[in-house]
Amino acid sequence: MNSTADLLIEKTAAYVKQQLVDAEGGHDWWHIQRVWNNCKKLLETEKADPLVVQLAALLHDIADPKFHDGNEELGPQIAKDFLEGQGISHEIVEHVINIIRHMSFKNSLEGPSFTSKEMKLVQDADKLDAIGAIGIARAFNYGGFKNHSLYDPTIPPNLHMTKEEYKKSTAPTINHFYEKLLLLKDMMHSESAKQMAEARHAYMESYLDQFYKEWAGEQ
């Protein structure tokens, strides 16, 4: 990539960082930085436009609908307003906005409506941050934020949720492992992400084993 692209990425990172100063812990600047880092790592082995990938990674959670009364247009709009002032081609702006609008797990529950190899890479990078030790921390942080219980053996996971049910769910956080986190490994698109996901997935499985043992007072 040329230095103009590098400068734009740095400028975007600075903008996102200051936009997210008050964000909830699972969706804050550090989440964005981890996803951006995951993207850079995946770009070492996967072929995709590095500028589009990195801009989309940086802007993908600029206004998460969960924290903005369900408004799904706000994030794409803020990203568009920012990018249009940066002197890049209309094509790149449209591509980044399409990725931001269509990449989320809940939107994928409705079937794909836009896709590109750049979007798949950002999705992989975002999903990697939802599993493993970090994924566990983010899930319990989100559950705490929503005042969900940790676990309730009388409430089984709902394995066939629609997008609306997923958004409204008040289920215990342990259910989220079965409803989403343990499914992510098989949803990775790139070979590199699949490999990284293996160890993180195994870690969640052993975490759950230990959790149930302690729940039963066995260990």
Cβ nearer to Ni ion, comparing 46 with 126 = 126
Residue 85 CB, nearest distance to ligand ADP (Å)? 26
**Under a CB-based contact definition with an 8 Å cutoff, are residues 73 and 98 in contact?**
no
Residue 63 CB, nearest distance to ligand ADP (Å)? 12
Binder of ligand ADP out of 26, 75, 76, 132 (CB under 6 A): 26
Binding flag, residue 190, ligand ADP (CB under 6 A): no
Binding flag, residue 139, ligand ADP (CB under 6 A): yes
Binder of ligand ADP out of 138, 185, 200, 201 (CB under 6 A): 138
| Helix pair angle (50-59, 29-43), 10° resolution | 160
**Under a CB-based contact definition with an 8 Å cutoff, are residues 34 and 47 in contact?**
no
Return the one option of Ni ion, ligand ADP, none that residue 145 interacts with (CB less than 5 to 8 A, by type). Answer: none
Cβ nearer to ligand ADP, comparing 15 with 105 = 105
Return the one option of Ni ion, ligand ADP, none that residue 169 interacts with (CB less than 5 to 8 A, by type). Answer: ligand ADP
In degrees and rounded to multiples of 5, residue 155 shows phi and psi of: -110, 105
164 residue type, one letter = E
Residue 139 CB, nearest distance to ligand ADP (Å)? 4
Binding pattern to ligand ADP, positions 84-123, x when CB under 6 A?
--------------------xxx-----------------
Binding residues for ligand ADP, rule: CB under 6 A, are 26, 66, 104-106, 130, 135, 138-139, 142-143, 169, 173, 176, 180-181
